[in-house]
Amino acid sequence: MSHVKRDLGEHEDLLVAIDSLGIEEKALVLDQESDEVSSANDEQANKDFYARAFKEWAAGNISGDAEDIFDAVTSAIES
């Protein structure tokens, strides 16, 4: 597998993991019909989402660096 494809796959895995955490923390809402995720616009849930994402990253459950995690969570919340 090429380096680019591997990087894209890892990034996709990160985004899926982040979306799942956001839904679990109730910061994101999954629309079952369109299969799209959007922000719940809940400030406390957003804080919990950031904390959970960094906790999972620190435990080695999510790959990437701190900036990747921050950017992915921010992007998910702003969607």
Closest by CA position to 38, among listed 72, 75, 71, 66: 75
Q: What is the pLDDT of residues 33-69, one digit of tens each?
A: 998 999 999 999 999 999 999 999 999 999 999 999 9
How does residue 2 score in pLDDT terms, banded at 50, 70 and 90?
A: low
Residue type, 16: V
Domain encompassing residue 17: 3-78
Number of domains in the chain: 1
User: Helices in the chain by DSSP H: which ranges?
Assistant: 3-24, 43-58, 66-78
